Amino acid sequence: MKSYNESCPIALALDVIGDRWTLLVLRELLVQGPCRYTDLANGLPGIATSVLADRLRSLEDAGLIYRESAPPPVATTLFHLTAKGRDVEPILVTAGRWAVEHLDGPAPDSEFRIHWLPFAASFYLRGHEAAGLPLSIQLETPVGSGVVEATVDGVRSRVGTVPAPDLTLTGMPDGIIRLLSGASTPEEARNEGLTIDGDIEVLAGFTRDAVS
């Protein structure tokens, strides 16, 4: 993309991360960890392969990612985030919080990937009161599972399962999001088809962003 050629830091940032698809490529690397080219393509429905190749080159040139020629058994190129790339996470989180506060939910026919769910869920869950840590929430949907874990180090999320979660939410992804966001109460969520197993009180322990 053409540079804005401004001295403002916002414009400088957008020169690097403002291209179409760029922030979503970084999202994939943040939530999936090191990725193969095809892992990225699968997590970015609709991207043209030439565009993905271009963005990866730009991000590498800008020092946000690097390539590793992984030895067997991987035997392929892996794309990793650098510290500079990892540090865009707060930008994504801030944008995600804004979206869940101000925007309508996704369209009914929109694309969904299970590895997005725990990241989206984490937008609602910040630090956690020290009491009861560590704790974990298991998310179960027809299209896959995710975990949100709170430790003294903060809140992390990932795809997969955890042995003995403190709370398990089973249902459609949007129902889970609505519950975590406070858009629906536990009772409403149950009525909408969500199954809640375990200690619902752990949710209250997560300090929500003050939406003032």
Partner DNA sequence: CGGCATCCTCTTTGATACTG
Partner DNA sequence: CAGTATCAAAGAGGATGCCG
In the complex, which residues of this chain contact DNA (CB under 7 A)?
1-2, 19-21, 36-39, 46-51, 53-54, 56, 67, 76-78
- Alpha-carbon distances, residue 13 vs 5, 6, 23, 40, 85 (angstroms): 11, 10, 11, 23, 12
Answer with the entry of DNA, its own copies, none that 76 interacts with (C-beta below 5 to 8 A by kind): DNA
The per-residue DSSP string of 43-87 comes to: HSTT--HHHHHHHHHHHHHTTSEEEEEPPTTT-SEEEEE-HHHHT
Q: Which two tokens stand for residue 72?
A: 């067997």
CA 147/CA 169 separation, integer angstroms: 10
Gap between the Cα atoms of 107 and 114, Å rounded: 16
Please give the structure tokens belonging to residue 99: 């979206």
DSSP state of 209: P
Compare residues 48 and 91 and give the one whose CB is closer to DNA.
Answer: 48
**Residue 36 or 113 having the CB closest to DNA:** 36
Please choose which of its own copies, DNA, none residue 38 contacts, taking the beta carbon within 5 to 8 angstroms, the exact cut-off set by kind: DNA
- The residue assigned the tokens 């414009």 is 11
Residue 53: name its binding partner from its own copies, DNA, none (Cβ under 5 to 8 Å by kind): DNA
Per the listing, tokens 């790339």 go with 85
Q: Which is nearer to DNA, 57 or 84 (CB)?
A: 57
Q: Taking CB under 8 A as the rule, which mask of x and - marks residues 151-190 in contact with its own copies?
A: ----------------------xx----------------
Closest CA to 114 of 135, 140, 149, 132: 140
Mark residues 76-95: x for contact with its own copies by CB under 8 A, - for none: --------x--xx-xxx-xx
Stretch that binds its own copies, among 13-21, 70-78, 156-164, 199-207 (CB under 8 A): 13-21
Coil vs helix vs strand at 96: helix
Q: Which does 204 bind (CB under 5 to 8 A by kind): DNA, its own copies, none?
A: none
Looking at the Cβ atoms of 24 and 133, the one nearer to its own copies is 24
Q: How many C-beta atoms surround the C-beta of residue 43 within 10 A?
A: 20
Among 27, 55, 158, 178, binds its own copies (CB under 8 A): 27
**Chain positions contacting its own copies, by CB under 8 A:** 1, 4-14, 16-18, 20, 23-24, 27, 45-46, 84, 87-88, 90-92, 94-103, 105-107, 109-113, 116, 119-120, 123, 173-174
